[in-house]
Chains A and B, each alone.
Chain A
Amino acid sequence: MSENERIGGVLEGVGGRGGIEQQIVLPWSRALQMTRENIFVRLGRSAITASGICLGIAFLTAVLFGASASRLLAEMDLERLGVEHEAGELQARIIWLAAMSLVVATVGIVNSMLMSVTERYKEIGTMKCLGALDTFIVRLFLLEAGLLGVLGSAVGAIVGSGVMMLVYLGRLGGGGVVKAWVTTAVQLGGGDVPLWAAITFSVLIGGVLSILAALYPAWRAAKMPPAAALRSEF
C-alpha cells in the first residue's frame, strides 16, 4: 500500500508526503501586507513596542555623539596639555558606555517583543486553526520586529542626536555641531569610525537586535498547541 493510500482520503490531492509543504503557502507580499496592517492599524501599541528600541538606540546615539563632540572639543582646545593621553582614556570610557547602552537597548527590545508576542497568543492560535504553518507565524513576527526595529531605531537616532546637538550647540557652535558628524566617534580595530557611520550602524544594529529578540518568543508561540494558545485571555 503506497503512502498516499495509507494516508487516505483526508490528505486527498497532495502530491506525495513531501508535497504537503508546497500546498500551504504564505507569499512574502501577503506577509508584508499583513505586517504593515499589524503595525499601522495598532499604531499606538506598535509605538509602545518600538519605544523600548527607540530609547535604547537614542541612548547609544547620544553616547556616540558625546564621543565625537568631546574629541572635537579636545582638538579645538589647543592649549590643553596631554591631549593624546586624555583621548586614550576617553576612548575606553566611550567603548564602555556604548556597550552598556547596547545592553540597555537589548533588554528593552527583548521585553517589548516578548509582550508583543504574548499579547497575540489567541491570534496565533486562530491562524494555526486556519492552517498556518509554524514558520508563517515566526515569519510574520520577525518581519514586524525588523520593521519596528528599524523604524524605532531611526527615530531613536534622530532624537538622540537632535538632543545632543542642542546640548553641544553652546560649546561647539553651529559649525562645530555639524562638523561633529564627520569626526571620529570610536576607533575600532585600528580604524576611525566617523559619527555618521557609527550612528547608521547603530540603527542597523537596532533592527537586527529586534529580530533576534523576537525570534525565541515567536518560535515558542508558534510551537504551542493551538488549544493552549486559544485559551489566552488577551
Chain B
Amino acid sequence: MSVYEYIVRTKNLSKIYTLGGTEVRALDDVALDIRRGEYVSIMGPSGSGKSTLFNMIGGLDKPTKGTVFIDEVDMAQLTASELAFLRCRKIGYIFQTFNLIPVMTALENVTLPMVFAGLTTDAALDRGMELLKVVGLGERHDHKPTELSGGQQQRVAIARAFANDPAIILADEPTGNLDLKTGKEIITLLKRMNEEKKVTVISATHDLKMIDVSDRVVWIRDGKIERIEEREDIQLQVGQMEGEEQ
C-alpha cells in the first residue's frame, strides 16, 4: 500500500467570486500541507475563508485556481464517480447543522454510507450498532433526529462519518450549534477517534476549545493563511466556567 506523508496538499488554491462587478477572493493563493494522522484546526473569524477551504479540501466545490491533492491525487482530475467513491470511503464529513436525514432513524443514518459502499444489510447493521455504541448512543438507535438533542445528533453524525473507516475526517464548525459542555464532549470524542483510529482530522472552526486537542492550528484571515502554529507553541489556557465538570 502506498503511503504518502502528506494526506492533503493544496497549491496556489484560490476561490474568486465575482459579485456585481467586484472580485471577492474567498481564498487567495493558499498553500497548506496536512500530515497523515494529524489533528489540524483551521481557525479564523466569520468570512475568513475557512469554510471555503473546507469545501475545497472536501471536494464539495471546485476552486477557481490552484490544486488540491489528496494522497497526491489531483482532485480536479477525478471523475464524478471517483469523487463519489472518495466521499464514500475515504472522507467522512461532519457539519455544523448535523445534516442527518430526517426521515431515517439514527441507525439508518449511520448505515447509509455503508449501503452505498455495498455492505450487506447484516454487516451494515452490526457495524452501525458498534459505531453508535462507541459514541454512546447504543440505546437510541431507532430514534429519529427530531427525537435527539443537538449533541446526540452530532454524535450520530460522527458515527456516520466513520461508517466506512475513512482516512480523513472533515469537520465544519462541529460545535457551532452546541452549548459549551456538549461542545467539549464532541471535541473530546473527535480527539479520541483521531488517536484510536489514526484518522486525520481537519476541522474548520472558530471554537477556541478546539485548540487544545489540535496538533497544529492554521490561522486564516481574508482568504490568506496568517500563520501556522504547532500546539506546543501556543500558550493558551482556555478558562473554565463555574460548575463545569472536567
Contact = CB atoms under 8 A, between A and B. Distances in A.
A37 B104 contact: yes
B60 A227 contact: yes
Nearest to B55: A227
A227 B61 contact: yes
B113 A133 contact: no
Nearest to B113: A130
B89 A225 contact: no
A131 B62 CA distance: 17
A8 B72 contact: yes
A42 interface: yes
B178 interface: no
B87 interface: yes
Interface string B83-100: 011111110010100011
Contacts of A134: 80
Interface residues of A, number: 39
Given A25-B116, A122-B99, A227-B61, A10 B81 contact: no
A130 B87 contact: yes
Contacts of B163: 130
Contact of A20 (B82, B99, B100, B102): B82
B203 to A, nearest CB: 16
A9 B4 contact: yes
B1 A20 contact: no
Interface string A112-126: 000000000011011
A133 B85 CA distance: 9
Interface string A187-226: 0000000000000000000000000000000000000011
Interface of A: 5, 7-12, 14, 17, 20-21, 23-27, 30, 37-38, 41-42, 122-123, 125-134, 136, 225-228, 230
Interface of B: 1-4, 55, 58, 60-62, 70-73, 79-82, 84-90, 93, 95, 99-104, 112-113, 115-118, 160, 163-164
Chain A to chain B: the 5 pairs with minimum beta-carbon distance, closest first = A131-B88, A227-B61, A10-B71, A227-B60, A41-B103
Given A24-B117, A132-B84, 10 more contacts: A5-B2, A8-B2, A8-B73, A9-B1, A11-B73, A23-B89, A24-B84, A37-B103, A131-B88, A230-B99
